[in-house]
């Protein structure tokens, strides 16, 4: 066996910060949580159930945005291109038509544009900052699910599995859902933080959009108020996730996936408590 291969196979797994890990375990005891912390300065990662699979909820909009910017980078589309706004989509189960309900969405503005057009950039802004499901479905149809999946695979984020648009009830009933792991989502955030998801310029634009996120009750609530954070949340019944790039003095990626807590205030408080422990550990 070549000596280099022997070295790789015999190298121990990276050590985790035992004190921080102990504090995180104390907070998450009895909870269904997946977590990945990736310090961007090369220090050891900290992980809790990094490869456990969760319903992705709106965190699946992260790879949708990456694919949109990738196609723009390659000249396949322009972010200023107009897109007709419709509320009619097709189930991946049988092709039957379904519609999104404005009452089940987190934002009503895109619905007001039905019958008109919005630019791809405007739809991306709505998809990320206010988590518009209608905007997400329109962009998924525009860039293509298979293209999104190929980009996720190319970036090495194999724990993220995007299968369909939002609110495809027939697919949901058959268990055909978008899923993610904390590790898969963390890889996507880390690549973007390092300018490696699409290009340094495109990734900087995406980070700027993520910094305008309107839902800030989870990871951002655990760090000092003025700290710039680029992040995407995801919530459905008993599911609450947050994936963030935290630009403190020592920047880091933190992904927390939570399942099984009914009240969003409680899951948000848990994530804020975890991010506070992470901040105090890394920034001391």
| 214 falls within a domain | yes
pLDDT at 8 over 80: no
| 217 falls within a domain | yes
For the stretch 227-245, pLDDT in tens is: 999 999 999 999 999 999 9
For the stretch 90-121, pLDDT in tens is: 999 999 999 999 988 889 999 999 999 999 99
Q: How many domains does one find in the chain? A: 1
Average pLDDT over residues 168-190: 96
Q: What is the mean pLDDT of the chain?
A: 93
| 10 falls within a domain | no
| 213 falls within a domain | yes
CA 241/CA 30 separation, integer angstroms: 17
Tell me the pLDDT band of 7, cut-offs 50, 70 and 90.
very low
User: What is the per-residue pLDDT for 18?
Assistant: 84
pTM for the structure as a whole: 0.92
| 60 falls within a domain | yes
| 1 falls within a domain | no
| 125 falls within a domain | yes
pLDDT at 14 over 90: no
User: What is the per-residue pLDDT for 17?
Assistant: 77
Comparing 235 with 15, which gets the higher pLDDT? 235
**Boundaries of domain holding 87:** 15-282
Return the minimum-mean-pLDDT range out of 2-6, 74-78, 111-115, 142-146: 2-6
Task: Specify the CATH number for the domain of residue 254.
Answer: 3.40.710.10
| 2 falls within a domain | no
Q: With pLDDT > 70 as the criterion, what percentage of the chain qualifies?
A: 94
């Amino acid at each position: 066996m070549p000596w280099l291969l022997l070295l790789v196979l015999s190298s121990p797994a990276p050590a985790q910060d035992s004190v921080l890990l102990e504090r995180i375990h104390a907070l998450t005891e009895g909870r269904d949580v997946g977590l990945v912390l990736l310090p961007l300065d090369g220090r050891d990662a900290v992980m809790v159930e990094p490869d456990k699979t969760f319903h992705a909820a709106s965190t699946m909009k992260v790879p949708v945005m990456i694919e949109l910017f990738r196609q723009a980078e390659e000249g396949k589309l322009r972010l200023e291109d107009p897109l007709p706004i419709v509320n009619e989509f097709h189930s991946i189960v049988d092709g039957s038509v379904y519609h999104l309900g404005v009452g089940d969405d987190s934002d009503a503005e895109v619905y007001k544009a039905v019958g008109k057009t919005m630019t791809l950039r405007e739809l991306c802004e709505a998809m990320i900052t206010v988590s518009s499901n209608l905007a997400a479905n329109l962009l998924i149809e525009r860039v293509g699910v298979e293209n999104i999946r190929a980009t996720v695979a190319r970036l090495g984020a194999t724990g993220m599995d995007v299968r369909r648009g939002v609110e495809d009830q027939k697919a949901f009933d058959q268990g055909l859902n978008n899923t993610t792991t904390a590790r898969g989502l963390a890889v996507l955030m880390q690549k973007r933080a390092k300018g490696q998801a699409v290009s340094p310029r495109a990734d900087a634009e995406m980070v700027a959009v993520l910094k305008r996120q309107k839902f800030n009750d989870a990871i951002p609530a655990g760090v000092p108020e003025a700290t710039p954070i680029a992040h995407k949340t995801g919530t459905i019944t008993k599911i609450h996730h947050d994936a963030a790039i935290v630009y403190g003095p020592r920047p880091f990626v933190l992904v927390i996936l939570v399942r099984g807590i009914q009240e969003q205030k409680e899951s948000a408080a848990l994530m804020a408590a975890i991010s506070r422990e992470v901040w105090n550990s890394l920034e001391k």
